[in-house]
A and B are shown apart, each in its own frame.
Chain A
Amino acid sequence: MLSFIARRLGLLIPTFFGVTLLTFALIRMIPGDPVEVMMGERRVDPVMHAQAMERLGLNKPLYAQYLDYIGNLAQGDLGESLRTRTSVWDEFLTLFPATLELSLAALLFAGSLGLVAGVVAALKRGSMFDHGVMGISLAGYSMPIFWWGLLLIMFFSVWLGWTPVSGRIDLLYDIPPVTGFMLIDSLLSGEEGAFVDALRHLILPAIVLGTIPLAVIARMTRSAMLEVLGEDYVRTARAKGLSPARVVFIHGLRNALIPVLTVFGLQVGTLLAGAVLTETIFSWPGIGKWLIESIGARDYPVVQNGILLIACLVIMVNFVVDILYGLANPRIRHQR
């Protein structure tokens, strides 16, 4: 197992350097003069221009600039935002819990509903329910989620008035950030009604963000379950006279979960991309909205290292899923 982990870690290092190379290159591919772009004005005074080039290290050869970049990263220096002058890392840390809370809620929604729908559809193969689940999941998979979010807002917030339109919590409540998770913080604050309010703010964005993962998980669970239910050990379990529930959940689902687990991991990328859209629609103060706003404001240090941080996050999650997959399925460990 250890050698398996070490091998996977070894693959991680070139990928990480590749990503730094990518973010390094991105910022240098901006058309035009970098100093003028960053200062937002044309024809900067030549002396000031030279000073800025010196300060930003842009007068050095490219490889030296890249080494500087890596050196700064190694010291945990991700630069500072041009707009707020706070460090990119601090901004990321304050905003990330909001995205994490939203993503976890979305995964919970998608995972619980998707597993149940997939298992039932597989058990009732060919029934109306099965066709319904497959049809809905194909539609969910094709869904433009930014439109889906607008539709839900129109229906639940504007027409029915059940849920708030945007934000994480009503302005009436003053919640001190302790964990960064609004649900937990609102409970800790002890303010009456704050928790319910936070929950009402969370529901719609979580559904919107969870829609595509839900479709994928339901489809995957169904096909994995169908495969497992045809296996000999399931027939044996049935022949032994075990209760149907035990056969389905203990013998069937546990084995069907292995491929579903990988899909969960792959959905993290989908979630982070979806977070950009969902957070924009619901004014959710997370890293997706942060990134889009920084792009609009040409805040290049944030764009560059925000993308780097997100890429590292995806790489790390995929690594963990790989390891879990190796734990769940020993055959993987011994390949090659």
Chain B
Amino acid sequence: MTATTTSPALDQALLYPSPLKEFWQAFAHNKGAVAGLGFMLLIIFCALFAPWAAPHNPSEQFRDFLLTPPVWLEGGQAQFLLGTDELGRDLLSRLMHGARLSLLIGLSSVLMSLIPGILLGLTAGFFPRLLGPSIMRLMDVMLALPSLLLAVAIVAILGPGLINTVIAIAVVSLPSYVRLTRAAVMGELDRDYVTASRLAGAGLLRLMFVTVLPNCMAPLIVQATLSFSSAILDAAALGFLGLGVQPPTPEWGTMLASARDYIERAWWVVSLPGLTILLSVLAINLMGDGLRDALDPKLKNAV
């Protein structure tokens, strides 16, 4: 290209791109991931501005408009864009408010399992003699139960509700963080830079959090995205089983559960909440794929 340029610093093409820009280029290369990001931004917008952007109050019952079809169907009303449910509540407003709950559950359960997961994983990686194996056996036990069943069991004991749903989902996704962190830590511990840091007199905590942890973040970020989507799915499943957030709170799974009885008369009450769940989960999974390609090329072919 411009090999004759005397001052290479002026040539942008020869500069090493900033990590952020490099990441964005790799991420934007994956069209599905960008589409997923777009949809998620829409959902986040709905969640943040639901009280102002939603056309109606989610629990206001329009008794004269029970089971009104969406606007594009015969009998649809312009004031209820996606129709109303069995109590005459506006579906669009309920879905928008439901986005708040789903994102809240997803975010808080990811945080509640990511932080203890990283701590346990680091501990297991740094103490491979006794503490490590015992932590890993404990995680094996938790993995022996299918995730939804363990969540169901936890909710059965603690009782249904928003906070217990978050706790159940956080406990269920803990083992994968612990395993992932431990595996990444074990891979890093033999590297020269860790030895160098040790020789320079770094303490245990510094080694753990400053030296090693930042280099293990890539798979953890990917896993956090994926468990965010399964948290939304599990929360909806719990809601559907009547064990999650309780009605009349507009949660997507709970909305589906109460819509079951109207399956013959009003397809929109059944279809739309489920479609919202599917699209959100799909969008997050697409983003996860893009993140994995951009952050962790080694995993590209793993399922």
Contacts and interface: CB of A to CB of B under 8 A. Distances in A.
Contact-size category for A: 35 or more
A204 interface: no
B303 A154 contact: no
Interface of A is mostly: helix
A151 B271 CA distance: 7
B282 A314 contact: no
A146 interface: yes
Interface residues of B, number: 46
B38 interface: no
Interface in B272-300: 273-275, 277-278, 281-282, 285-286
B123 interface: no
Contacts of A151: 270-271, 274
A292 B282 contact: no
B111 interface: no
Q: Which of B144, B233, B277 has the most CB of A within 10 A?
A: B144
Given A31-B159, A219-B303, A269-B146, A150 B274 contact: yes
Contact of B156 (A143, A150, A216, A295): A295
A263 interface: yes
A214 to B, nearest CB: 13
A22 B236 CA distance: 25
A291 interface: yes
A310 interface: yes
Interface stretch (A40-48, A134-142, A175-183): A134-142
A144 B145 contact: no
Interface string A5-28: 000000000110011011000110
Interface of B is mostly: helix
Contacts, number: 128
A310 B260 CA distance: 28
B137 interface: yes
Contacts of A307: 145, 149, 153
Interface string A22-38: 10001101110000000
A19 B237 CA distance: 24
Contacts of A292: 152, 241
Interface of A: 14-15, 18-19, 21-22, 26-27, 29-31, 138-139, 141-144, 146-148, 150-151, 153-154, 158, 216, 219-220, 223, 227, 263, 269-270, 272-274, 276-277, 280, 291-292, 295-296, 303, 307, 310-311, 314-315, 318
